[in-house]
Amino acid sequence: MHKRRLGRSTLEVSAIGLGCMGLSHGYGQPVEKRDGVALIRAAVDRGVTFFDTAEVYGPYTNEEVVGEALAPVRDRVAIATKFGFEVDPERKRQGLNSRPEHIRQVAEACLKRLKTDRIDLFYQHRVDPQVPIEDVAGAVKDLIRTGKVRHFGLSEAGVQTLRRAHAVQPVTALQSEYSLWWREPESEVFPVLEELGIGFVPFSPLGRGFLTGAIDETTTLDSTDFRQGVPRFTPQARKANQGLVAVIGQLAERRGITRAQLALAWVLARKPWIVPIPGTTKVHRLEENIGAADVELSAGDLSEIDAALSAVPVHGARYSEQMQQLVDR
């Protein structure tokens, strides 16, 4: 597996990481814990060294799976987790909470669930408008001083928030959605990341599974699958977006690779400081995704892909109005 450095930091990880959320949260019924552990260990065996989780995935259960899976190989991998939400005693996610005292409490709890003495990358999961970002960065800076955290990250943060946070504690990585069907970060965010030396960790680089061709308007999503509430995943939008999947399929077939590999190779080719974190529950999909790290797209390939996809409109917003309110732009 090729390695990449996140921005100008010292954090070097596999070129493709593993987003672990879907093992426990968000995409229907969670997998059995033993199966989640086995999938994560299979990723390690295949060279993946970067694993993404969060306290609210479950809540809590995803960190527990990741912690158990990676405990035997802890010094060979980097674990990223997140703070920023309130979780009530019944394990339900409530509103935002990035108060410094809460960040410290979450860090201690995360360390226990992850069975480790340090968090390699600690993200603010969503920007909290009630807490100055300088206070958030300062709290994480204190955790870095104690050795409990190694690097600071932000998720779905806008450029002004990035600049203000970075002035207090250097930000190692920004996490946000980015893929062949969601390229918004390119216009304003990428230039600031390049300027400040911040890495980029795209989640949903496969369009929440849609870009692989495995989903169409007839696909039945589980009642607990959060895509049920996403405008881009209504049956009408899924039908309208099949044209995009068809084009991706044609481009991939000409190169002898799968749609997923084309989509991931395209993300990797955009910048050397980008590390996508596709998720899966199946080993054969894991291997397929990892194979994208060996796909080299030329400048001509990228131009052809851009030209082909620019002619295909994408239907539906990426978030519901409620979810969009949590995005700092």
Distance CA 233, CA 239 (A): 9
Q: How far apart (Å, rounded) are the C-alpha atoms in residues 189 and 167?
A: 17
Active site residue 57: yes
The answer to whether 307 and 266 have CB atoms below 8 angstroms apart is no
DSSP state of 29: S
Token code pair at residue 324: 């969009």
Q: Where are the alpha helices (DSSP H) in the chain?
A: 33-45, 61-70, 100-113, 133-146, 159-168, 185-196, 235-240, 242-255, 259-270, 283-291, 299-310, 321-324
For residues 323 and 229, give the distance between their C-alpha atoms in angstroms, rounded to a whole number: 10
Which residue bears the tokens 């206070």? 135
Q: Are 69 and 41 in contact (CB under 8 A)?
A: yes
- Catalytic option among 57, 60, 123, 178: 57
> How distant is the alpha carbon of residue 253 from its chain centre?
27
Residues catalogued as catalytic: 57
